[in-house]
Amino acid sequence: MKTRATIIAMLLMTTISAMAQMKLNFGDDSPLRKLQIAELAISNLYVDNVDEGKLVEDAIRGMLEKLDPHSSYSTPKEVKALNEPLSGSFEGIGVQFNMVEDTLLVIQPVTGGPSEKVGIVAGDRIVSVNDTAIAGVKMSKEDIMRRLRGPKGTKVMLGIVRRGIKDTLSFKVVRDKIPVKSIDAVYMIRPEVGYVRIGNFGATTHDEFCEALEKLTKQGMRNLILDLQGNGGGYLQAAVNIANEFLQKGDLIVYTEGRRMQRNEYKAKGNGKFLDGKIVVLIDEYSASAAEIVTGAIQDQDRGKVVGRRSFGKGLVQRPIDLPDGSMIRLTVSHYYTPAGRCIQKPYTKGDSKDYAMDVMNRLKHGELMSADSIHFADSLKCYTLREHRPVYGGGGIMPDYFVPLDTLAYTKFHRELSAKSYIINANLKYVDANRKALRKRWTSFDEFRRDFVFPKEEIDKMIADAAKDKIVPKDNAELEKTLPKLSMQLKALVARDLWDMSEYFAIINEESEIVRKAVEIIGN
């Protein structure tokens, strides 16, 4: 039986041998050799057992955290979750749903999807998946989604409770690829003025956008409002393809450049589908990356006007580096620059991700979101647009041509609390669920609905009474009276979403948006 001293001696010999081998491969002062010696020493000599995989992951994260805020490491599971919204599809049963009192309520099945094909309809409640109860058991939304999703071609048995039918229904659904749309809304906001809202820039965004342009053109569109508010970005090529639809042949869209990356220019091909009409782009403090590329190209080329608030300022280009186990490093390799030469990236301190993450809150505290006068740019950051030679500034984000302040008083504290505690969405879901057939029969025309429908006052009173039990109450009658109009409008928009789709939701919501109103005004001039 080997003594403890013998075992330690053998481990040391193994470590020294490995170190010697590394010395041959990397040289005495190689940082990589130093890192591997440390890992070998810990895994062979540390007092307790260690998870080598986690040790390496922590080391990678530690290195990346000392760089910029956007270089990152993702586990295989995280990689899949990150890619899904941009890839254009996922595999599952194909329903839009929400949770109501621990029960999954189908808002609507995806048109042509596997659930619709077997007869699942809006208003159905999914109570079991493969004989496992998911209703009334406080199962997390993530666990439910994991059970519903699965590889294309696999089968899942769903237990369905349907209003008006006593027994639980059973449906065998064959999972399939479910399209993920990146365009949230497409409609004619005014005569001859189209509106398109892009949620992110994914693999299918350009195709979706071309379909939207074709649809709106047939409806008489001559001018366009492109809404990129809250758009966090996505694929560079998708942004380039969208900008190409507006710009003349040879117009620079964006260029990238880094320490080890030569300047790479992206130019318009001249084959765009919307080369002549007016364009107004809407942005806010959450518009980032690919959204800023499109906005910067349109502004610098004097192709259209920009309305809203200064964008996020994410101008770092990441290259994905796939690792053998399916994990991935996203390493920043260059910067984005607008056609006028502006660097989109806002300033940051290496290793200080906390302050970077708080940037939007800091803008709010400093008054930048409420007043353009609170925003100061150094003259050294001044550039000029390429046709009209208007001054624009670098130093982080895109500053709009027309600033629209954030109205922090638009929604009362009472309204925000109702929303945060899900009272508004639940009141809508319950109302539509109980009246779906009658609503569909009565409101066959959205234009008529938009003009005449009013969300029932008794349903709002019931919601307010329920919220009071949770001690969510208005400060006084004045706050209640100020809350009711916007609350009623929001509930009306949610009903429109459930009866039609997101385009109808935004058609109602946008009429209360100061940014959208400003865009309509500009296009009309």
Contacts of range 372-378, beta carbons closer than 8 Å, 24 or more positions apart: 372/403, 372/405, 375/310, 375/399
Indicate if 117 belongs to the active site: no
Indicate if 314 belongs to the active site: yes
CB 449, CB 496: distance < 8 Å: yes
Question: Considering just the CA atoms, what is the radius of gyration of the chain in Å?
Answer: 27
Q: Catalytic: which of 71, 74, 289, 503?
A: 289
E strands, 54-154, are 72-74, 89-92, 95-100, 103-109, 125-129, 132-133
| Encoded tokens for 219 | 């409806």
519 SS3 class? helix
Say which residue the tokens 């319950």 belong to: 430
Say which residue the tokens 């380039």 belong to: 240
Residue 109's beta-bridge partner residues? 95
* 3-class SS shares of the chain: helix, strand, coil, % to 5: 40, 20, 35
Say which residue the tokens 């946008």 belong to: 510
Nearest to 277 by CA among 226, 342, 328, 205: 226
* CA dihedral of 67, 71, 76, 82, whole degrees rounded to 10: 150
Determine the Cα–Cα distance for residues 494 and 431; give it in Å rounded to an integer: 11
DSSP state of 201: B
Please report the DSSP string for 81-110 in residue order.
Answer: HHHHHHHSEEEE--EEEEEETTEEEEEEEP
Q: Catalytic: which of 227, 300, 359, 498?
A: 300
Determine the Cα–Cα distance for residues 195 and 225; give it in Å rounded to an integer: 5
Q: At what angle do helices 457-469 and 477-499 cross, to 10 degrees?
A: 120
Q: Catalytic: which of 267, 278, 305, 314?
A: 314
First to last CA, the chain: 92
Q: How far is CA 150 from the centre of its chain?
A: 23
Q: Read off φ and ψ for residue 89, nearest 5 degrees.
A: -165, 160
Indicate if 289 belongs to the active site: yes
Determine the Cα–Cα distance for residues 193 and 217; give it in Å rounded to an integer: 10
Which residues belong to the active site? 289, 300, 314
